[in-house]
Chain A
Amino acid sequence: MRVRAALAAATVATVLLGLVTACEKKSGNDGATPVASGEPIVVGSTLSLSGAFAATGIIHKIAGELFVEKLNASGGLLGRPVRWVVRDDESDQAKVSTLYEQLISQDKVDLIIGPYATPNILSAMAVAARHRYLLPQHTAVIAPLLTYECQFPAWSIGPTPNEFVPNQLFDAVASLPTPPKKIAILTNQNGSTDFVSYGSANAKGGAVTVAPQRGLEVVLEKRYPPNTSDWSSLAAQVRDAKPDLLFNSGIAVDPVNLLQAMAQLNYKPPMMFSLFPAPGPPLGLGPAAEGLMSVSIFEPNKSTLDKLGAKAAQIVQDFETRATTAKLPYTVFETQAAASWNAWEILVASVKGAGKIDHQAMCDFLHRSGAETTFSGKLTFEPKQNNFWPTTQLIKQIQNGNWVTVWPRDRAAAQLRGPAT
C-alpha cells in the first residue's frame, strides 16, 4: 500500500514538474527565440588578466562574458551554444603566441578572437595568419602594421591614425572662440602612443609634424619612457613652456600623473588632451582634470543612448552591474567595452554570413558585406586599408566631472569647452 502511495506521489510530482518546466520555458522563450542546442562552438582567446595590461584586460573579459551569455540566450550561433575559453596571457606577448598556438593546434577551438593591447594583438595575428583563422581584434589601431587580410579591427582610427588623431583634435580646438597657438607635445614611448606623435617608417608624420602644418607653434616636445615615475620634471617643463594646449600622447594614468604634478606646481595648462587614458582615475582629480580631452568610440551619454535605443541601454546597464560585482572602480561601458562588443559582433556576423565555420568563407563575407554593430553602426572592411573602416572616433571631454562627447558637432552630446576664463 505504502509503495503504491509513494509511486502515485512520485508520478504526480513528475507531472507537476514537467508542467512547471514547460511553463517556464514558454514564458522565458515566448516561442519566438530559438534554443541553442548541440555541441558548443568553442571560441578561444587570451586576455591580459594579470600584468601590465590587466587593468583593461578585465574590461574585455566582463564585456565578452556578457556578450556570450546574451548570444546564447538568443539562440546561440548556427543554433549551437557558444563557449568562450579565455586564458591569461599575463600581458606577455611571447605567451600570447604560445597560447594561441595551443588553442588552435591542440584544443582545436572553432573560432578565435583577439587579446587586448597592440603588442599582444600583433602576436596573435601572426598565429592566426599561419593557421588562416579569422581574427576580430578589439583595440589595435596602428593600421599599417596589421597586414593580415583576415584580421578585422573593432576600433578604427582609419588607415593613418597618426594624422587623423591630431587633425581631429586641431579641428575641434580651432572651432573655439580663442583657438590655441602654442602646443607642448609629451609622448609615452609605448608603441601606439609614439606612433601617433611620430609615425613610423611606413607611415611618416604625426602630431609633431601635423601641429606646425596647422599653424601651431611647438614650444615643448619630449618623449618619456613607459615606466616613468618622476612626473615633476615634466610638469616643470610644461609650466615654463607656457603652451595653450598640452598634447599628451599618453596611456593609462599618464595624464593623471601629469595633472597632479602640475597642480603641485600650482599650474594647469589652459587645455589638455591625452590619447588613451584610463577613464576613471582622471575623474578622481576633480577640478584639476576638468576640461581634459581624449578620444572615444562610445560614451553612454544620454543623447547617444536615446539614439541607439533600448538594446544598447540594457547592455550598458548589464555591464555596469557586472563591473560593480567585479569591484572595478570605474564601471562605465565606454570605449574599451564598446570595442570588445564590436569584435564579438564582427565574429558572429562572419559566421552567420558564411552560414558555417569556414574561416576563408567568413573572411570573404566580411570583406563583401561588412558587419552590423550596436555601438559603431555598419562597418565595412576595405582590404587595401588593412580592413580599417571609416572611423567613427569622437573627441570627449571631462565636463562637470563626467566624460561627454564634444566633437564632431553632429554626433556630440555637448559643446566643446575652451579654457576657463
Chain B
Amino acid sequence: MTVVQAALSGVLLGGLYALMAAGVSVTWGVLRIINLTHFGLMLLSAYLTFDLATVWGMDPLLTVLVTVPVMFVLGGALQWAYDTLRVSELNSLLLSFGLLIIVVQTVSNRWSADFQRMPLDVNPYATGSVPVGQFAFPTPTLIAFGVAVFLIAGAHLVLRRTFIGRALRAYAQDRAVAATFGVDHRRVGVLLAAVAGATAAVAGMLYSLINALTPATAYEWFGIVFAVVILGGVGHLIGTLAAGVVVGLTSAVVSVVLSPAAAPLVLFTLIVLALLVRPTGLFAVRTSR
C-alpha cells in the first residue's frame, strides 16, 4: 500500500515536472535557444502568485489571469531580443543564465531572501486531497497533473494539426527551406516563445501551491527539469510529459523501496543508461533537429 500511494503521488508530481520542462524543451528543440531565463519566468510567476494571493486576496489558481499575459509578453519579448541579436544556441545558454541571475536578484530585492509561503487561509489547496478508496490524491499535484496533460496535449495537437504548428516544425527541421515556403521565422519564433512563457506562468503558480519560495529555488530546478527535457527528447512535448511521469514515479518508488537518498542516484543512472540506448531521448519518435 505504501508503494502504491507513493507511486500515485510520484506520477502526479511528474505532471508538474513536465509542465516546468515543456517550455524549455520546445524553445530548445524548435528555436535552438537553451533558455535558462525560463526558470526566472517561473520564479517570477511563483512570487507574483504569492503576492496576488496574499496581498490582493485572489484565489491562487485565478492568478494565472494576470501572470499568463505578463509572461506571454515577456517570453515573446525575450525571443525577439535573442533573434534580433542573432544569439546562437551556445551563446543563448550564457546570455539567458545572465538574465536569470538578474531576475533572481530582482526577486531577492523585492521579496527578500527569506522563505515566502502562502498560508493555508489563502492557499487551501496545499493540504487537500481527493480520497479514492484507501488512497489519497493530493489536490495540488492532482491539479498540476491535470493542467499539464491538458496544456501539453493541446500544444501537441496544435503543432500537429494547424498551419502554425506545421510552420514551426518545418522551421525546426530546416530554417532555409521553411523560409522559401513563406514561413516568417521571426513571427513564429516570438509566438512560440510567448506561449512557452505562458506555460512558465502556470508552472510557477502550481509550484507555489506546494512549496515555500526562495530566490535560489530557480537554481534547484535545473537538475530535474533538464533530466525531463533530455529524457523526453528535446522539443518533443508528449515525450516531455512521459518523461516527467517516469521521473516522478521512479523517484517515489525508489524512495520507498530503497531510500530517498538513493532516488537521485538511481534516477540519474537510469537516465544515463537510457540515453546510451536512445541518445535523442527515450520518448523521441524521431529527431526534431
Chain A residues proximal to chain B, CB less than 8 Å: 49-52, 54-55, 57-59, 91, 189, 222-225, 227-230, 232-234, 236-237, 240, 252-253, 256-257, 260-261, 263-266, 278, 280-281, 284-286, 288, 326-330
Asked if B216 contacts A284 (CB within 8 A), the reply is no
Nearest residue (CB) in B for A253 is B212
B83 to chain A, nearest CB (A): 31
Rounded to whole angstroms, the CA-CA distance of A349 and B54 in the bound complex is 44
Contact B260 A55 (CB under 8 A): no
B224 sits at the interface (CB 8 A)? yes
A229 to B207, CA, bound (A): 11
* 28 pairs from A and B in contact (CB 8 Å cutoff): A49-B113, A50-B104, A51-B216, A58-B114, A225-B261, A228-B260, A230-B9, A230-B10, A230-B263, A233-B6, A236-B2, A253-B115, A253-B117, A257-B211, A261-B138, A264-B128, A264-B129, A264-B140, A265-B5, A280-B114, A284-B117, A284-B118, A285-B120, A285-B126, A288-B127, A327-B110, A327-B111, A327-B112
Question: In the complex, A230→B108 CA distance in Å?
Answer: 25
Interface residue B214 (Cβ < 8 Å from any Cβ of A):
yes
* B256 interface residue (CB < 8 Å to A): yes
Decide: A252 and B115 in contact? CB cutoff 8 A.
Answer: yes
- Contacts from B to A (Cβ < 8 Å): 1-2, 5-6, 9-10, 13, 104-105, 108, 110-121, 126-129, 131, 136, 138-141, 210-212, 214-216, 220, 223-224, 248, 251-253, 255-256, 259-261, 263-264
Closest Cβ–Cβ distance, residue A64 to chain B (whole Å): 15
Would B259 and A223 count as touching, CB distance under 8 A?
yes
> Which 10 pairs across A and B sit closest by C-beta, in order of nearness?
A232-B9, A54-B113, A284-B119, A263-B127, A224-B260, A233-B6, A264-B138, A233-B255, A236-B5, A253-B212
The CA-CA distance from A3 to B216 in the complex, in Å, is 64
Query: Knowing A50-B108, A280-B115 touch, does A260 contact B10 (C-beta < 8 A)?
Result: no
Please determine whether A91 and B13 come into contact, CB atoms closer than 8 angstroms. Answer: no
CA distance A189 to B261 in the complex (A): 8
Which of B113, B128, B220 has the most A CB atoms < 10 Å from its CB? B113
Residues from chain B with Cβ under 8 Å of A265 in the complex: 5, 129, 136, 138
A236 adjacent to B256 (CB under 8 Å):
yes
Known A-B contacts A50-B113, A50-B216; the reply to A233 vs B120 at CB < 8 A is no
Q: Which residue of A lies closest to B4 (CB)?
A: A236
With A and B bound together, what is the CA distance between A54 and B105 in angstroms? 11
Could you list 10 further interchain pairs (A-B, Cβ under 8 angstroms) beyond the known A230-B13, A230-B260, A237-B256? A58-B114, A232-B10, A232-B13, A233-B260, A264-B140, A281-B117, A284-B117, A285-B120, A328-B112, A328-B114
Chain B residue contacts of A222, Cβ below 8 A = 259-261
